[in-house]
Amino acid sequence: MVYMAVSLYVEAKPIIEYYDLKKDVDDRFYQIFKSDNMTLIITGVGKIACAVATSHILSRNLLFDEDIVINMGICGAKNDVQIGTAYIINKIKDASTGKDYYTDVLLKHEFYENSIETFDKPIEDASELEEALCDMESSGFYLSASKYVEQHRIFLIKVVSDRIGVDIVDKNVVSCLIEKNLDKIDMFIKRAQDFMKNENEIFKRDELDLIDEISCNLKLTKSLREMLYKACLHYKVRTGKDILFLKNNAVGTVNNKKERGKYFELILSYLKQ
C-alpha cells in the first residue's frame, strides 16, 4: 500500500484522477481518497496539520513491510531553481527548531535530490532560506511518519511552484505542475514498492543470523538493532557485497553500555567503508 499525504486538494486533484482514487465517505475527519493500492489524505497546510493527518491515516491501518509513505506537493525555491522541477528530498531542516532530518533513499531513481526547509509561515525573502527549497509541511510529515515506519520507507517528492520573492503561486498552475511529473512519479512509486517487496530477499539466511548474533552479543535496543539493520542494508545496496566479513570483527557479550557503544560504533564504521 502507498500512503500519500498532500496538503491541498489542488495538489491532490491530478493524483486522484491519475490513479482513479475514490473518496472514502466513512471518514468524518479528513478528505481521504482510496484505491486497492493507494490511500491519499488531504492534510491541510502547515507542519502540525500534516503531522496529525499523517498519524491519523497510518494509525488506522495495519501496516506491512512493503508499504511506503509519501509526502507529495509543491514547494518554493531559491532563484536558481527551475519551476516545475520535481525533487526527491534528502534533507529536511525545521526553521523554527533548527533541527535537521535526513531521509534514507536507498533505491536508485531518476529524480534530482535536494534539501528543503520547513517554515511555520510563508516567507517572502529568499535570504531567509538556508536550504534550496522550502515548504510548510515536510518536517511535520517526516517526524510523524517515522513513528510508524522505518526511514527508508518514507519519501518526500516536491515540485517547485515558485521562486521566493520572484514569483506568485498561481493555484491554476499548481495542478498542471503536479500532473506533468506524474508519469515519472508513478515509475518511482512502482520501483519503491518492488524494492520493499524484495528487501527481505537482499539478505541471505546466514547474514540475517549474523545480524541477530551481533544484536544479541551487544545487547542492542530495538532502535539500535534497526540502525544496525539499516547500516547493513546500505552497505549491501551500495557495494553489492555480503556482510559476512563482520564475523571477523564480531565481539563477545558486552558488560556495560560503554562497551556496547564502543563496539557498535566500530561495526558501523566497517559498514561505511
| Cα 39 from Cα 37, distance rounded (Å) | 7
| Cα 33 from Cα 139, distance rounded (Å) | 23
Band of the pLDDT at 201, cuts 50, 70, 90? confident
Whether this model's pTM surpasses 0.85? no
Q: What is the pLDDT of residue 250?
A: 66
Alpha helix ranges (H) inside 20-151: 47-59, 138-145
Which domains does the chain carry?
2-199 (3.40.50.1580), 202-272 (no CATH)
89 and 138 in contact (C-beta within 8 Å)? yes
pLDDT single digits (tens) 36-68: 999 999 999 999 999 999 999 999 999 998 899
Q: What is the pLDDT of residue 235?
A: 87
pLDDT single digits (tens) 97-146: 999 999 988 888 999 999 999 999 999 898 899 999 999 999 999 999 99
Q: Give kind and range of the element (H or E) at residue 23.
A: strand 22-23
118 and 140 in contact (C-beta within 8 Å)? yes
